[in-house]
A and B are shown apart, each in its own frame.
Chain A
Amino acid sequence: MLRELAALTRREFIKLARNPQAIFTTLTLPILYLLLFGNGFSFNVAQYVNPALPIPPHQQLIDLLDDYFRGAPDYYSYFAAGMVGFVSVTATLFIGANVIFDKLFGVFRRTRGTPAPSAAVFGSRLIAGATQPILLAFFVMGLALLFAHVSGLHGLTVTGSVGVVGALQIIAAIVLLSLMFATLFLTFGILIDVPQTYFAAVNVINLPVLLTSDALYPWGTMPTWLRNVSSYNPVSLAVNVLREVMFGSGAYPYGPGVYLLGLFAWAAVLIGIAILLVRRALRPLE
């Protein structure tokens, strides 16, 4: 099993390394979001607070904005954490399409003609497919932190004390989120044979999931019903972990561990369903 997994995973990484255009495209999208979208919507809390005001209204405004961005010092910091969740999902979209193209080009048939177990066939693609969004998520976080030190740009400002546990919680949230969506879209790729059908199915999942999360919207602008929906959204759960660790727990009813648990439950259910479907689809005899 391990040799089969190693051989097929090697193939995936060779193909990735031989496609620099794809790497460039994957990096361009979050850079543009961080540079343009984030900066375009950003505003500094301080500029709306008149220090001459008496203390109570001043404090009220601070508290209001604190709730507005769930503890983040500004929209950019709030948005940057959301972008990490956003790319953890969007970078997995093509993972299943690669399977479909391999089916069309006969490569998948060759693999299926060998005794390589279905776990190795699936696992190799999952490892390669989930590594990209995980690395991209950390790249986005690093870039956003860097922007905070570039004059004229907004950037991610961490106001909480992260610590080792916090860092591990951030890593766990990113890995779980990427793994979950990579599994989902990889399963689609194995079950579907037509690229157009695949992309339609992916959009049916991808857009609603991202648009019902609080990855990009300021929490303060979201209507109550959307906040309620968002509370159970896996992207929101992962982003909550990041924001709570980076900006403090004041604006959250639960600790990061609870959101991680929710994320883990989502991952367990989705991966469980995927295993059942994929085992059926990749039986030795069709």
Chain B
Amino acid sequence: MADTPAIQVEGLKKIYNGKILAVDDISFRVPRGETFGFLGPNGAGKTTTVSMLTAGLRPTHGHAVIDGLDVSRDPDEVKRRIGIIFQESTADGDLTGRENLEVAAGCFGISMSEARIRSRRLLEQMQLTDAADRPAKTYSGGMRRRLELAVGLINEPRILFLDEPTLGLDPQGRAGFWGFIKQLRANDGLTVFVTTHYLDEADEMCDRIAIIDHGKIVATGTPTELKDRLGGDVVSLRTPEGSPDVSGILSPLPGVSAVQKQDGTYRVKCQRGETFVPRAVAACTSAGVGVIGVTVKRPSLDEVFLEYTGREFREDEGPTATDRAVMLQRVQGQLRGRR
């Protein structure tokens, strides 16, 4: 069992209503104890993938094996072995934190006496003891997230799925949440599969990352590997509006591996950006083009993301694949109603 990966995905595909391709033939492995980040723009297929891996959605093709169990064949046993933190709050606001935990424990078939022990321990661990007997609707955003985490851990899972776990939290709340995850990883050796919109979090917390776009995995690696693949630093040079194109002047300069022009700004991938800048400015000036702004960046996951998806990493870029499927169903329903 120790050699079996925590998560093994092969040729996984999801097509909604026979028309919308949300996840397109993805494959990856997550070894035990690893924190694996799954990044992508809205509508890329992240949540659909998480739903398939957590036995909430049946794949159209392919296999997902979680803790050695095929999700399609043994969904209930998979659910017993995993913990899920959903994107939205799922705690029952009318119930206290303690009651939420006890009900969740009951759903896993855990006895009431054991549920009480585990609830007390998790409430302490998540620093919620003082608020344990207050209705969850009175909790702050950070407290609710911690309660969600406690609920996700009530069955003592081996693998934890976090779907945008810190969405909407302030920086303090985010830091606190990830502090608990670090602690859990160190103490219990949990495998963590996380989707997040915050690339700094992914960079800091994840051992490896996969980037998904239009349902396909476009890059996989450690954060360092992915950044190194960009070919060094990224220098952004801004020229005045209406200036002639200087891509042809910048490309032949020593150490340059690529030049991209976007809205009057040249993104130049090069080695040792700080020594490249004077040469680039001199070359542009010689060509009669002034440089009105320069930035040098060590590559971050933002650049990695931009490189592989061609898009800035933003929220609210449009409907997700699930949204699109729901919209399609509604339109079909309306059309049926008119017939």
- A binding-site residues for B, Cβ under 8 Å: 3-4, 6-8, 10-11, 14-15, 18-19, 105-107, 109-116, 120, 284-286
Contacts and interface: CB of A to CB of B under 8 A. Distances in A.
Contacts of A3: 106, 109-112
B94 A106 contact: no
A110 B151 contact: yes
Contacts of A114: 79, 104, 107-108, 155
A53 to B, nearest CB: 62
Given A3-B111, A113-B54, A286-B57, A10 B90 contact: no
Nearest to B96: A14
SS of B interface (majority): loop
Nearest to A5: B106
A18 B95 CA distance: 9
Contact of B56 (A10, A19, A107, A285): A285
6 contacts: A3-B106, A7-B106, A11-B92, A15-B94, A15-B95, A115-B108
B89 A284 contact: no
B307 interface: no
Closest 6 CB pairs of A and B: A7-B106, A110-B90, A114-B107, A106-B90, A115-B76, A284-B75
Interface of B: 54-58, 71-72, 75-77, 79-80, 84, 86, 88-95, 99, 102-112, 115, 135, 151, 155
A3 B115 CA distance: 11
A9 B88 CA distance: 24
Contacts of B58: 285-286
Contacts of B93: 105
A286 B71 CA distance: 12
Contacts of A106: 86, 88-90
B104 A107 contact: no
Contacts of B103: 7-8, 10-11
A11 B99 CA distance: 8
B171 to A, nearest CB: 24
Contact of A110 (B75, B104, B105): B104
Contacts, number: 92
A113 B79 contact: yes
Nearest to B99: A14
User: Which of A7, A8, A105, A107 has the most chain B CB within a 10 Å cutoff?
Assistant: A7
Nearest to B76: A115
B56 A286 contact: yes
B90 A107 contact: yes
Given A14-B99, A285-B56, A7 B88 contact: no
Given A8-B103, A15-B92, A115-B80, A110 B109 contact: no
A3 B111 CA distance: 7
User: Which of B57, B90, B105 has the most chain A CB within a 10 Å cutoff?
Assistant: B90
Contacts of A19: 94
B33 to A, nearest CB: 23
A196 to B, nearest CB: 13
Contact of B107 (A7, A15, A105, A285): A7
